[in-house]
Structure 1
Amino acid sequence: MKLFLGLLLILICGLRSSEGILNGEEAALRPYYAYIQGGTSPSGGGAFITRRHVLTIARLLFGFTQWQIGYGATVMSNLTIITSNIAFIHPGFVTDNTNNIGVIVLPQLITSPLVEPINLPLPASVMVLPRLEEEGTIVGFSVSSANGVPIPSSDLRAAYLLVQPNTVCASMQRSTENVFCARDDEYSANVCTNNIGSPFVTSFRGNQILTGLLTEIELFCIRSDRSMYVQTQNYLDWIQSVANIN
């Protein structure tokens, strides 16, 4: 029995990787991507939707009063960092991932040419996004931990995942309302803890669209595991109101 448990632990540990993009590839600059750190908590991601507003998940905001936002580089040490003390959490947010969405307001406009806000989706009445089996891109800095201190990797990484029926992810949380499911069986790429909040981006009629935000991962972040995303299209009215987008 002890031998079996030992082998099981070895197998699990062998399947685990860093706490970021798993089995992905080095990414080119994504000018919409924002690296987010709340206090000394594990990091996550978000997306510029204007030059002053970053969309992310509420779990990266809840319980904090200050956030560091990094942008404009594919190497961690080259990120430009700005600090914000203002954020809005969706009024219907519940800590089990219900309405898990929020907006960080930056103290000033970011005029850098290395930042380009991403398009929000059109209303569902025009086209429901994402579409089943559609490929989306998610990027992030992998993060490992030494003595409880998060250590980001140096390079931005990318994974490409396919949208799956929500039934595939049904066991991951109690409700699959306002979320969608994705995974990559072909190349075994995946996301993990410190990519939470990172944007899931698809292409629609030649435009990059912010389709989702990473909200839920499997326990051990094993390659090819499922992941779940807040469906941004379902929150358009709230997002546009908070960010003053017409």
Structure 2
Amino acid sequence: MDKCALFALLLVLGAQAQPQRAPKIINGHSATHQPYNAFIMYLNAQNAGFFGGGSLISDRHVLTAAINIFGYQRWNVGLGSNIFTQLATITSTQAIAHPNFNPTNRANDIGVIMLPSSVVFTTYVYPIRLPPLTYINQLPVENEEGTIVGFGFTSSSSTTRADYLMHSFQRVVNHNRCLQFFPVQSPYQFCAEDNIERSNVCNGDLGAGFVTIERGRPILTGIASLVAQNCGAQNPTGYTRIAAYRQWIHQVAYI
């Protein structure tokens, strides 16, 4: 059996059971499967590292935060399930962070992982749409609601990833509120928060996609980049705005 067929079989065997109500992403909820979502374990030459999130944007490319790439050499990318133990994993040794990434203030916190072979698109593995190259609207706009999913910590005191994919809803806040917490630059970054249930991104979620709806279809508009030291606090999350880097993504991934 060739590698592509084996990978497709693994994904089918990992068909989605609906998880029971589980501990939360930080006041989030258990998520149904999102076929674009990727779990990323990143490792250096000494096999030390951590984990984060990403989004499948083609059959060979995963978009994530540069913080998950910079200084690392190997990436184990999990796809195909909202249950951690059922993820199918692909190992990559090729990735590129934005050349102007600043790990101190997270400016230009965007990067692409190149998969060693094309994944087979199925019900469980499918890329998410990006803002069009020629789109002039700087999505997302203020007060627009988006969804964020991840296997990251489920409380500010957690030390391990979640067993089930978690999601929360956040709404884009104005730039001045964002500046109260992070040294963000417009239009390259934005902030969003949940002012109802106070759900928040936490450690292990950086790189995950912020997804909004454009003309009735989901579209990837942000990458989780900045969280407060206490991610359980009532602070917004800082995101890289994908539309501001659309030309760079095209140069790297040809999409």
Letter in 1 for 2:247: D
Between the aligned partners of 1:125 and 1:210, the Cα distance in structure 2 is 13
Letter in 2 for 1:115: V
Q: Counterpart in 1 of 2:165?
A: 156
* 1:30 partnered with 2:34: yes
Structure 2 unaligned residues grouped into runs of 5+: 1-22
Shift of residue 185 of structure 1? 0.9
Shift of residue 93 of structure 1? 1.1
Letter in 1 for 2:162: S
Between the aligned partners of 1:25 and 1:202, the Cα distance in structure 2 is 18
Runs of 4+ in 1 over 6 A off after TM superposition: none
Q: Counterpart in 1 of 2:117?
A: 108
User: Over aligned residue pairs, what C-alpha RMSD do you find?
Assistant: 1.9
* 1:224 partnered with 2:234: yes
Q: Counterpart in 1 of 2:98?
A: 90
Q: Counterpart in 1 of 2:8?
A: none
* 1:57 partnered with 2:65: yes
Between the aligned partners of 1:67 and 1:173, the Cα distance in structure 2 is 28
Q: Does the aligned pair in 1 maintain the 2:60–2:116 contact within 8 Å?
A: yes
Q: Does the aligned pair in 2 maintain the 1:71–1:79 contact within 8 Å?
A: yes
Pick aligned residue for 1:121 from 113, 131, 144: 131
| TM-score (structure 2 length as normaliser) | 0.83
More strand per residue: 1
Letter in 1 for 2:254: N
Q: Counterpart in 2 of 1:165?
A: 174
Moved more, 91-100 or 63-72: 91-100
Shift of residue 41 of structure 1? 1.9
Letter in 2 for 1:244: Y
Deviations 1:166-210 (A, max 9, x none): 111103333323000100111111111110010000000011110
Change (3 A) 1:41 1:143: farther
| TM-score (structure 1 length as normaliser) | 0.86
Moved more, 195-204 or 95-104: 95-104
Between the aligned partners of 2:227 and 2:60, the Cα distance in structure 1 is 28
Deviations 1:40-79 (A, max 9, x none): 3221001011011000011000111101000101111110
Shift of residue 144 of structure 1? 7.1
Structure 1 unaligned residues grouped into runs of 5+: 1-17
Q: Does the aligned pair in 1 maintain the 2:138–2:244 contact within 8 Å?
A: no
Q: Counterpart in 1 of 2:9?
A: none
Q: Does the aligned pair in 2 maintain the 1:120–1:209 contact within 8 Å?
A: yes
- Corresponding residue pairs, total: 224
Secondary structure of the residue aligned to 1:43 is strand
Letter in 1 for 2:57: I
Between the aligned partners of 1:33 and 1:170, the Cα distance in structure 2 is 29
Between the aligned partners of 2:189 and 2:134, the Cα distance in structure 1 is 14
Between the aligned partners of 1:24 and 1:173, the Cα distance in structure 2 is 23
Identity of matched residues, %: 37
